[in-house]
Structure 1
Amino acid sequence: MTTPEPALPMVVPAEGLPARVRIHEVGARDGLQNEKATVPTAVKAEFVRRLADAGLTTIEATSFVHPKWVPQLADAEQLFPLVRDLPGVHLPVLVPNDRGLDRALALGAGRIAVFASATESFAKANLNRTVDEALAMFAPVVEKARARNVHVRGYLSMCFGDPWEGAVPVPQVVRVCRALLDLGCDELSLGDTIGVATPGHVRALLAALNEQHIPTSALGVHFHDTYGQALSNTLAALQHGVTTVDASAGGLGGCPYAKSATGNLATEDLVWMLQGLGIDTGVDLGRLTATSVWMAGQLGRPSPSRTVKALGGTTQPHKE
C-alpha cells in the first residue's frame, strides 16, 4: 500500500484540552451499513486491517442485527473471525437484542454496543418500541454481557434534534443517559444523528449530565456534519473534558432522516484538527488517508472528507 507523505498542520496547543483522545472508528460498521451495493467480506476485512495499521485501536467491526434489517452487514459471522485477532485493537460490535448478543459471544466478541434513542419518534421508527420498552429490551442483554466481562457501550441517538420532534429537551436526554448507565453500560456515545447540534448546545448537555452525577469520563460524542458543525461541536466537547470521539474514515456513512446530510465526521478531518492542537491520537494521518482513498476506490466514488481530498487528491485508484 502506497502511503502519501501528507502536509502537516502547524502545532499550536490550546489550554484546557486533553493530552490524548481515543478515536472510536465507526467506518466499517456505521459507515458501510447503508451502502446499497454489497461490499465483499474480504474488502471489509481488509478495510479493518488497514485502519488498524493506521494506528486506530478501537474499530467498530460489524453489527449482529438481523440481516433482513441491515443486509450490508449480513456477513457478520464470516467477517468477525477474519479480524478478531488483530493485536492491540478493540473490535466492538453492535447487538440489537439477546439473540444478537449470543451470536457475537459465540465468536468471541469482547465489546458490544446497544443502540437506544432519546426520542419516542425515533425509538418507534428504529426499534418499533417506546423509549422505555427499548430500555427494557436492553436490560438482559447488558446484564448477560457484563456477567461475561464484556464491555458495553450505549449509543444514544437524537440527543440534540429529531426530524419529527424538533429540538430535544436536555432533561429528556439526561433521563435516558441515566437509565443506560443504570442498566450497566460502561460508556455512552451521545449521537447528533441529524447533525443539528451547535457548540453551546453541546456544552449545555454535558454540563447537565455532570449535574446528574454522570461523569465526563463515561461519555463519548458522535457528531454528524450535516450543517458543517461536527468539528466545532467536537472542540466544545474536548474543552469540557471529553476524550472519546466517534468518527468514520473518509466520512463514510450518512443519515437517512435528514435531507442533504453529509454523514459522519471524517476521521481524517478530526485527526488534522487534533494534530494541530497537539493532541495525541496514535493515528498516522498518511496511512489513514491512503486507506480512505483505497476504500473510496472500492466503492467507486470520491471520499467526502475534506482532508482526504486535500492530501489524497480527488482521483481514486482502480479496485485492487
Structure 2
Amino acid sequence: MTEPRRRIVVTGRQGQVVSALRDRAAVNADLDIIPLGRPGLDLSDVHSIAPSLTAARPDVIVSAAAYTSIEQAEADEGLAILVNQTSAGILGQVAATLGVPIIHLSTACVFDGATAGAYAEADPVGPLGVYGRSKLGGERAIADSTADHVILRTAWVFSPFGSNFLKTMLRIAEDRDCVNVIADEFGTPTSAFDIADAILAVARNLMASDDPGLRGTFHLSGSGRTSWAGFAEEIFRASRARGGPFAAVNPIPSHTYSSAVERPANAELDCRKLKAEHGIAMPGWRPATERVIERLFDTMKEATPMKERHS
C-alpha cells in the first residue's frame, strides 16, 4: 500500500525559505508543501493563526515567516515582538493542540557576537537589538508552548529569491567598479536551498520518532567562515565566471558603516549537534554560493540579461 503524503504547512508565501521549500517539493514526492500567508494567515493578526493552521491539517508546522528587518525593528519594536515572539508562541500552542511537531526558524542574532569561534547551542545568549530580542523571545515562547519542537538557528541567508546580500551585491556591481564591504564581521553564509533540505530531513525524523534527542535547539548554517567582504568576493568571482556583473571589493571596518543597530561581530554557528542527532551535514558556503549563482543566472536567461563586465 502506498504511504499517504505528509502535509508540511509553512508560514509565509514569499520568503526565501518558503520559496526554497516550494522548489524542493518536486523532489520530495511523498510530501506536500503548503505555504500559508496573508490574508489567510497573518502573524500580525493573532486571531488568524489557529483557524488557518487547523484548516490546513498539518503533519508538521514550519514557522518560517518573521519580521526580518534588523534596522527597521528598532523603530517598530511593537510589531517585531508581535510577529516574532507573540505569534510564535501561538504557533507552538496550535501545534500542541493539533498534536504535531513544529520547526521554528531563528537566528544567530540571539548572540552578542563577542565570543571567539563558533557558537554552540548552549552558549549564553545576548541579543544586541530589537530583532534579536524578539527572535529570542520567539524561541522561548515556542519551547514553553510545546515539547515537540525543533528550533533551527541560522545566519546570513541567501538565495535566488527575495532580497538578500548576494542579490544586492550583483545589483550594485551593475553600476560600480568597486564596492565597500564590511570586513570585520564574520559569519557562515547559508543557502535557503540547504535550509529547506535540512528542514525536510528534520521533519521526516520528527514524524518517524518521538526521541527527545531529536527535539530542542539546533544550529543550521553553511559550513565554513568568512566576512561580508569575503562573501562578496566569492559572489563576484562566481558571477564573473559566468559572464555576469562583478566588482572589486574594498574591505572597510564596520564602524565606518552607518547603521541604526549594532550587529554581531561574530555570527558563526557550530552545527555539530545537528549532524550528531539528525544526521545532517551542512554543505560549504562556497559551493552553495556557486549553486545559487548558477540557478539565478539560469532563471534570468529569459529575462533582461545582466550586463557583462570585462576586465
Same fold (TM over 0.5): no
Structure with bigger gyration radius:
2
The TM-score, its normalising length taken from structure 2, stands at 0.39
